[in-house]
Structure 1
Amino acid sequence: MRILMVLAVFTLFFGSSCKEEKETSQMKEVMAIHDEVMPKMSQLGDLVGELNSKENDSTEIGLKYMEARKELQSAHKSMMDWMQNFGNRFDPDEILNGKELSAQKQEWLDEEEKKVKDLKEEINASIANAKELLGITE
């Protein structure tokens, strides 16, 4: 009987620890993706400026410049919206210090992980498209 109680306590402690590690690791992953794409926001702005200067062209290429500018601006807005919504859902202790999440917040974190991955794709694709149109190589 005593062994069963020790095993039960160990399982509860270990299970809780694993859950907390998953949350912390998932939160770190979400923040790592954010930190990876955040520096690209100034690049988005620079590319919008370059495309604006070429948009006066009413030819087919001018329309492509306009579409690429809209994609960049949409990616920028998506980032701003994501950051605001993420900040409204989680407090600094949950984001920075690994505070345990409620079941509802864990569901939200799962959602936010997908959203930030989609956001990364949107930002990278809009930059790649604009650079290709402008003939910018790295």
Structure 2
Amino acid sequence: MKRITSLLILITLTFFVGCKPSLEETNAELREEVIAVHDEVMPLMGKLKSFEKQANDKINDLEQSESVDSVSVEELKALYYDLNQAYEGMFVWMRQYEIEDGEKSPEEIEAYLKEQMESVSKVNDDIKAALEKAEKHFSNQ
């Protein structure tokens, strides 16, 4: 009876160890997740730039009008800044993102990808927040 129990435990442990994904597989999945976060907002970059141009044009119009509303101008400048920073943030992230793993160990790759997930998630959040702010501003006009 002890042998059967020991054998069952050994088979069960072997099964679970054999089914556990390797660190390389985990890293591949993590890399896909990082790229998915990037891909979610990349198509919105044109919209971001369009709102940025709208804000800039509106700033110029207000500054040239005789009745300058300084509060509106400052709000638009803040919106323009947010849109620009969100746009630039994506390209800063893309320039520094390393596609190749090089000589890194699987553990180093995992740490790098987790760091990149945090960075690209912030870029994603910044873009969505800037777009939401712009949509609210320009839909009220």
**Alignment TM class, shorter chain as reference:** 0.7 to 0.9
Displacement after TM superposition at 1:85 (Å): 0.7
2:78 aligns with 67
- 2:138 and 2:73 map into 1 onto residues whose CA distance is 11
Residues 26-59 of structure 1, C-alpha deviations (whole Å, 9 max, x = no match):
1111111111110111111100111111103242
Q: Label 1:35 to 1:49 Cα distance change in 2 as closer, same or farther (>3 A).
A: same
- 2:72 and 2:58 map into 1 onto residues whose CA distance is 9
1:112 aligns with 116
- 1:132 and 1:82 map into 2 onto residues whose CA distance is 27
2:40 aligns with 36
**Which of these residues, 79, 89, 93, is aligned with residue 82 of structure 1?**
93
Fraction of identical pairs, as percent: 25
- 1:106 and 1:117 map into 2 onto residues whose CA distance is 16
* Length, aligned pairs only: 120
Work out whether residues 23 and 101 of structure 1, in 8 Å CA contact, stay in contact via their aligned partners in 2: no
AA matched with 1:129: K
2:4 aligns with none
Q: Whose radius of gyration is greater, 1 or 2?
A: 2
Residues 84-129 of structure 1, C-alpha deviations (whole Å, 9 max, x = no match):
1113xx31xx6xxxxx963222211110001111111100000110
- 1:119 and 1:112 map into 2 onto residues whose CA distance is 10
Structure 1 segments unaligned to the other structure (5+ residues): 95-99
* TM norm structure 2: 0.74
AA matched with 2:121: K
- 1:120 and 1:44 map into 2 onto residues whose CA distance is 12
Matches within 5 A, 1:48-63: 48-56=52-60, 57=62, 58-59=68-69, 60-63=71-74
Work out whether residues 27 and 110 of structure 2, in 8 Å CA contact, stay in contact via their aligned partners in 1: yes
In terms of mean alpha carbon deviation, does 124-133 or 53-62 score higher? 53-62
How large is the RMSD of aligned CA atoms in angstroms? 2.4
Structure 2 segments unaligned to the other structure (5+ residues): 1-6, 63-67
- 1:125 and 1:38 map into 2 onto residues whose CA distance is 14
